[in-house]
Every structure is written in structure tokens, then in C-alpha cells.
Amino acid sequence: MIQLDKEATLRLLMDPTSSDSLVVKGDADLSFTMDQSGKMSLTGTYNLNEGSYMVSFESVIKRKFDIASGSTITWNGDPMDANISLNAIYTVRTSPDDLIADQMSNFSEGGQSSSKQQYPFMVTLQLRGEILHPDISFQIELPPEDKGILQGVVNDKLNMLNQDESALNKQVFALLVLGRFVQENPFQSASQGGTSALVRSTVSKFLTSQLNQLGSKLIPGMELNFDVQSYEDNQAKGRTQVEIGVKQQLFNERLTVELGGTVDVEGQSANQNATSDITSDVTVEYKLTRDGRFRMKGFRHNQYEAIEGQLIETGVGLVFVRDFNRWSRIFKSQKNRSDSSNNQITNVTNEGR
């Protein structure tokens, strides 16, 4: 008999190609036997109480699904031939306006405004069958308390969507990758420039992820961060900005230097950029003590204010850092805390004797 403790963690690599993985905790009473020929048998059910399923898209985008209660892994003999019944949920907060775009004309102005509010949509991943080759399906649902929004039109649309595998998979992909719904025909948009905006949003997220992955490998020990923002202004003119950040720690991590800035690569300001824009923001921090509690920090940042316009902020300051889990520990001296810790150790030692 094999008993699995509730705190024991089981890790399974579900797909070596995409690195999809399952990490769970649960409880089980399993029966294990092995005959004289060496043939092994495992029977029983592993009840999954908590955990997550990590889904990867081409190693670029990763989404973490939380295991729902009632999920199980069952063995009926062959230890390598388990069956899985698993539901895992990933929640996306977004508006349903693109999902019900074909019905927007039926709503009043107030209803159309409500359709642009964000609600929690639950994307449920369902695994059934052999654990190494499970049948995979999805569902999109609203929490019970939100099923009545917009007179139930959104919930009715989701019920229809869950019956159409092709349309469902398209919306699941949009929610997981873009964080939003897409219209049934994404090339017909209710707002001007909708198609271009959708494409720009997708490309921006993809480029940001790719640049950050590349930056982490270029120079060991140096952090490079990128953020690509591509959008259209109110005149439907495209604009693309690349935010660049460089961080380097020196002298056994006592000195930290951060450089950053924003470069326009598309739009009216693109031709006005100078190379110095990349280093327009500078932050230097030095740890005065080895534990980093006292630090000296100086900075020069470009800021934009709606009234005053473009500003350059500079400053220098002394920084004090302390970790605590109770407010009283902020004002308690190091000596008192050390004495308290020593007393605790002494008490534990005496109890052990």
C-alpha cells in the first residue's frame, strides 16, 4: 500500500516539445504489487487538491491554469498507463463587446457602454483519457454571479460558442494570447482601425517577449529589458515606441546602474530621435552597508506633465531598507532582536534536553 501525503508534490512533464507541465498536490491510497516475474501493478486514485498546469505557446507565451477540485489521476494496473480527469482554469478579465459585436445594435446606449466593462471570463482546460495522450478540450464560462450581465446575452453567446469547436478554439487562443475576445470576422470591426489595432497589439506582445528572451542571453550578468508599444492615434496614424532598459550590478552587487529610455521608431517623432534618447533615464544606487540596509541613490529621469510638458527630474537621497512581518519590528533595535532570537534558541535547546 502506498499512501501519498497531501503536502507531497507531483511533477509531470506532459509535453517535452512545448514543455507543458503539471504540478499537483493531493492524497491517495494506492496498491502496488510485483509478481515473481517482475511485472508491476498499480491501482488506485490520486485525488488532486491543488496545483497548476503550465501551457506554453511556441516557448514564447506561458499561461498557468489552476487545478479545479474533483480532478483525479487513476491507475488500473500498468503504472505507465494512468487515466486523467482534470479541469484547470485560467481567468482573463476583459470586455465582451467583441464577442457580442453582432448584437450590439440591439442594446441601448447604456447597454453598449456596459459591454465595454471588464468581467472575469474563465477558460477551462479539460484533460480526459490516457495521461500521456489525453483528449484536450476547452470551455469558456462566466462565474455564476456574472451570468446575468447584459440580460444574459453574453452567457447565451458563450453557451453557443462552447458547442462550436472551431469558433471556441479561436476565442480561447485570443483570450490566452491577446487577453481579449475577437470578432467572428476580425476583418470587420465596429470601430475605425480595429483590424490594424488588433494586429498591432498582437505583434507588440510578440516582439516584447522575443526581445526580452534575446536580451537575457546577449550579455551574461547584465539585464536587458524591452517593451514594444505599437498603436494608432486619434487620426489613425501609426506610432511605435521601443522602451529599452539596461541594468548592471558591479563591485559584488554593491553598485547598481540602470539606464533607460524610449525611442520612437514609427510616427512623426521617429526622425527626431537622437542616440542619447536611449540613456535619457539614469539611476545609480550604492549600498553603503553590506546588508544593503542603507543605500545612496541618485537619478535623472525624463517626465512628461500634461500642463508643464517635458520635464527633467534629478535627485539624490538616502534610502533605508528593512524587511518585517510586524509593525513593531520596524522600531525594534538589531540588538534586541538578536537577544530575542538567542533566547528563543536557548529555550528550544533546553526543551530538547
Q: Consecutive sets of 10 residues in the chain, 353 residues long: mean pLDDT of each?
A: 80 75 87 86 90 75 88 89 93 90 77 83 93 89 90 91 89 84 62 46 49 52 63 52 76 86 56 51 91 91 63 88 69 54 44 43
The β-bridge partners of 223 are 247
* 3-class secondary structure, 148: coil
What local confidence, expressed as pLDDT, does residue 349 receive?
39
Decide if 247 contacts 223 (C-beta within 8 A).
yes
What local confidence, expressed as pLDDT, does residue 190 receive?
42
- Rounded to whole angstroms, how far apart are CA atoms 311 and 302? 6
Grid cell in block for residue 55? 501551457
User: Dihedral of CA 189/195/201/206: which sign?
Assistant: positive
Q: What is the pTM of this model?
A: 0.53
What local confidence, expressed as pLDDT, does residue 92 receive?
93
What local confidence, expressed as pLDDT, does residue 353 receive?
43
- Rounded to whole angstroms, how far apart are CA atoms 126 and 168? 13
Q: Which own/partner contact pairs does 155-163 have at CB distance under 8 Å and 24+ positions apart?
A: 157/96, 157/99, 157/100, 157/103, 158/99, 161/99
User: Dihedral of CA 268/269/275/278: which sign?
Assistant: negative
Amino acid at 8: A
What local confidence, expressed as pLDDT, does residue 13 receive?
81
